[in-house]
Amino acid sequence: MPLFSAKFLARSDTALSTSEHISTGLSRREFGLAAAAALAMPTALQAHQTPKITSKGTYDITVDRVRIDTGDFRTKGVGYNNSPFPTVLRFKEGEEVTINVKNNLNETTSIHWHGLILPFTQDGVPGISFNGIPPGETFTYRFPITQAGTYWFHSHSGFQEPDGAYGAIVIEPRGGERVRADRDYVVQLADKHPHPGNRIMRNLKRMPDYYNRSQRTLQTLIKDSRADSLQAALQERGMWGRMRMMPTDIEDVQGFTALINGQSTSQNWTGLFRAGEKVRLRFINASAMTYFDMRIPGLKMTVVQADGNDVKPVEVDELRIAVAETYDVIVQPRENKAYSIIAESVGRTGMVRGTLAPREGMAGAVPTMRPKPLLTMADMGGMMGGMGMEGHVMQNMTGMNHANMTDMKKTDMDGMDHSNMEGMDHSNMAGMNDSNMAGMNDSNMAGMDHSNMAGMDHSNMGGMSGPSSVDPTYVNGSGLIPKAYNGGKFLSYADLTAARPRYKYRKPSRTIELRLTGNMERYIWSINDVKYSDAEPIVLNYGERVRMRFINETMMAHPMHLHGMWSLVDMGKGSRNPIKHTVNVNPAMTVDMDVEVDEPGQWAFHCHLSYHADAGMFRKVVVRGRPA
């Protein structure tokens, strides 16, 4: 591989993908040979790496220092099989795999198989599953493949993952793919930063807004005071300033180059199709810190799988993929033209374009990024809990006559009976604008009858909050509520319905409350205000079903990832609740997920934003007992 330049690799990446498509009847060994043959031909190169397959079910992976060229900048990082492009592991459900991982770095490494259900000693988290792989040594992972779907793998050591140590896993179901597609491509996203991970962490610890280049400035003040008034604009800024919070605090680490399969917009990852074919795209967000909004202008995307588990197909125009999540979509391009795969970061600070094209050498259009969102007081709601308002607001508001609310406008809010809200600590809220005040403690809102609220203008509905009617996974009035690029359908967790439940529904025996907490100014992230280094493990009992209740008291979204066991996100669908490995919890929201405790051992459980996990939003989970 080193014989060919990265640029050359980038240009000709599609050929093997095509041969892959043709080679779907081949055994793995034969496929391996085909791949080797393909590698011999310059025109058949691809961006993805295939690991060396030494015998059936055995895979060799090396962990190496690699040069990374994003087109915007060059840096050194960590890669697999001596390549800056992600390696794709292709397994079959039911097989037993042996994976030899050779560490060519001069520091300890590890590989975690993200989303795979396996014995905990094979899970690859140093300090929890094993001791890590020392420099120069080879560790052999052995585990049965008991599931199918799209997953990924990455280093769980230091900042090797943001530095480039990630790859994809595609597991073919027993009996072949259940959704028919003519083409099948991995689309793995990353947010490659010119700074190495340890430097980013140092900078964030010393100056949390080091990488925030989307802050409000004199220019935005002038713009806002023209739109409203100078007084209003200053008042609003004063409110944020008094709290020492920033409404622009959406992406901690800006300045990255977004990549699809290791390739930036200019390097243009391309997947080929013939008009009318069904193309399966396996979106994987391997970013360190960045959520992406994904779309293919001109095509509907049919979501068929989330986090490796099939869902009832749902057609969308755009979807938001949290860090570490996967979504499989089917698209059917009917015209002989280039279609753009657009991944635009939620904070609109980075974007990548890949292409679906009828032939090589074509490039889809690159749209300009949409305006940057701002957080609102609604997104702050969870933090209010810590300021003495928790539990007061919504309980008292159930006394409100909802029947009178049908025609509510912003101005009518003055008529609200604030006397019921005495429990609120107004001292922290001086200058706060009620109209922006959605979002406190929605967890108490379950009893509210939303059916009476039809016709209400939710956008102006400060003060009361609860889930947004647009997407119940966001707090009402949140600045992060997504809108599809074409005004069409934007995917929500509420749209995800498990196609094949893994467990019968039963009531959880207990609820474990996990407040997601942090101190943005110090860049400390924690659970229940305790950092990992100071925390006791969470103890679960084998055989129980527990409910994990995430209460997000920060202004940021956190993708929470429990290793080893499925996360059943409570969307009110019983056994049809989506089955995930990574659960996004938006600012000021409460999200419940149930866990069938069916794997003994000890597991990692953490926010998958690399720098949040490292700063302490992390727990060890110990499962007591084992199958009888």
* Binding of residue 370 to other proteins (CB under 8 A): no
* Binding of residue 230 to other proteins (CB under 8 A): no
* Binding of residue 521 to other proteins (CB under 8 A): yes
Selected binder of other proteins within 29, 74, 226, 522 (CB under 8 A) = 522
- Of 260, 343, 264, nearest to 86 by C-alpha is 260
**Looking at this protein, which amino acid is placed at residue 537?**
P
Binding residue count for other proteins, defined by CB under 8 A: 32
* Binding of residue 426 to other proteins (CB under 8 A): no
Could you tell me if 549 and 511 are in contact, meaning their C-beta atoms sit under 8 angstroms apart? Answer: yes
31 CB neighbour count, 10 Å cutoff = 18
As a whole number of angstroms, the distance between CA 510 and CA 135 comes to 43
Selected binder of other proteins within 210, 490, 550, 611 (CB under 8 A) = 210
Selected binder of other proteins within 216, 300, 418, 573 (CB under 8 A) = 216
* Binding of residue 407 to other proteins (CB under 8 A): no
Could you tell me if 184 and 103 are in contact, meaning their C-beta atoms sit under 8 angstroms apart? Answer: no
How far does CA 94 lie from the centroid of its chain? 28
531 burial via Cβ count (<10 Å: 0-12, 13-18, 19+): middle
Give the Å distances, CA to CA, from 159 to 4, 79, 145, 310.
Answer: 28, 12, 28, 31
Q: Which is nearer to other proteins, 245 or 306 (CB)?
A: 245
Round to the nearest angstrom and report the end-to-end CA distance of the chain: 50
* Binding of residue 231 to other proteins (CB under 8 A): no
* Binding of residue 238 to other proteins (CB under 8 A): yes
Give the Å distances, CA to CA, from 313 to 296, 328, 440, 499.
Answer: 17, 10, 34, 8
As a whole number of angstroms, the distance between CA 443 and CA 393 comes to 11
Selected binder of other proteins within 174, 178, 213, 510 (CB under 8 A) = 213
* Binding of residue 241 to other proteins (CB under 8 A): yes
Q: Pairing mode, if any, of strands 96-103 and 58-69?
A: parallel
* Binding of residue 219 to other proteins (CB under 8 A): yes
* Binding of residue 229 to other proteins (CB under 8 A): no
As a whole number of angstroms, the distance between CA 535 and CA 527 comes to 9
* Binding of residue 131 to other proteins (CB under 8 A): no
106 CB neighbour count, 10 Å cutoff = 8
As a whole number of angstroms, the distance between CA 188 and CA 282 comes to 8
Q: Which is nearer to other proteins, 113 or 523 (CB)?
A: 523
* Binding of residue 215 to other proteins (CB under 8 A): yes
Q: Which stretch binds other proteins (CB under 8 A): 50-58, 86-94, 415-423, 519-527?
A: 519-527
**Looking at this protein, which amino acid is placed at residue 535?**
A
Could you tell me if 83 and 125 are in contact, meaning their C-beta atoms sit under 8 angstroms apart? Answer: no
Selected binder of other proteins within 56, 174, 178, 206 (CB under 8 A) = 206
* Binding of residue 243 to other proteins (CB under 8 A): yes
* Residues 313-332 within binding reach of other proteins (CB under 8 A): none
* Residues 137-196 within binding reach of other proteins (CB under 8 A): 195
As a whole number of angstroms, the distance between CA 225 and CA 214 comes to 18
* Residues 596-625 within binding reach of other proteins (CB under 8 A): 614-616
Q: Which is nearer to other proteins, 210 or 292 (CB)?
A: 210
Q: Which is nearer to other proteins, 243 or 421 (CB)?
A: 243
Minimum CB separation from other proteins for residue 243, in Å?
8
Angle at 351 between CA 557 and CA 329, to 5 degrees: 75
As a whole number of angstroms, the distance between CA 263 and CA 270 comes to 10
* Residues 530-589 within binding reach of other proteins (CB under 8 A): 531, 533-534
Minimum CB separation from other proteins for residue 67, in Å?
21
Mutual angle of helices 230-243 and 218-227, in 10-degree steps: 130
Q: For residue 594, what are its two tokens?
A: 């149930």
Q: Which is nearer to other proteins, 119 or 194 (CB)?
A: 194
As a whole number of angstroms, the distance between CA 296 and CA 615 comes to 35
Q: For residue 615, what are its two tokens?
A: 């700063």
The SS3 of residue 403 is helix
As a whole number of angstroms, the distance between CA 80 and CA 62 comes to 6
Q: Which is nearer to other proteins, 21 or 216 (CB)?
A: 216
Helical ranges in 430-491 per DSSP H:
none
| Helix and strand numbers, DSSP H then E, in the chain | 9, 31
**Looking at this protein, which amino acid is placed at residue 408?**
M
* Binding of residue 217 to other proteins (CB under 8 A): yes
Q: Which stretch binds other proteins (CB under 8 A): 131-139, 199-207, 367-375, 395-403?
A: 199-207
Q: Which is nearer to other proteins, 14 or 254 (CB)?
A: 254
Q: Which stretch binds other proteins (CB under 8 A): 112-120, 208-216, 434-442, 504-512?
A: 208-216
* Binding of residue 372 to other proteins (CB under 8 A): no
As a whole number of angstroms, the distance between CA 559 and CA 322 comes to 6
Q: Which is nearer to other proteins, 120 or 240 (CB)?
A: 240
Give the Å distances, CA to CA, from 53 to 91, 207, 575.
Answer: 12, 46, 39
Selected binder of other proteins within 52, 102, 142, 205 (CB under 8 A) = 205
Minimum CB separation from other proteins for residue 416, in Å?
28
Minimum CB separation from other proteins for residue 255, in Å?
8
Q: Which is nearer to other proteins, 15 or 234 (CB)?
A: 234
Minimum CB separation from other proteins for residue 134, in Å?
18
**Sheet arrangement for strand 270-272:** 270-272, 351-357, 339-345, 292-295, 318-321
* Binding of residue 202 to other proteins (CB under 8 A): yes
Q: Which is nearer to other proteins, 233 or 301 (CB)?
A: 233
Selected binder of other proteins within 40, 106, 175, 244 (CB under 8 A) = 244
Q: Which is nearer to other proteins, 43 or 519 (CB)?
A: 519
Q: Which stretch binds other proteins (CB under 8 A): 148-156, 212-220, 439-447, 473-481?
A: 212-220
* Residues 251-280 within binding reach of other proteins (CB under 8 A): 255
Q: Which is nearer to other proteins, 264 or 349 (CB)?
A: 349
Q: Which stretch binds other proteins (CB under 8 A): 90-98, 416-424, 462-470, 516-524?
A: 516-524
Q: Which is nearer to other proteins, 207 or 232 (CB)?
A: 207
Q: Which is nearer to other proteins, 421 or 524 (CB)?
A: 524
Could you tell me if 587 and 478 are in contact, meaning their C-beta atoms sit under 8 angstroms apart? Answer: yes
As a whole number of angstroms, the distance between CA 478 and CA 107 comes to 42
Q: Which residues here bind other proteins, judged by CB under 8 A?
A: 195, 198, 201-203, 205-207, 210, 213-219, 238, 241-244, 255, 519, 521-522, 524, 531, 533-534, 614-616
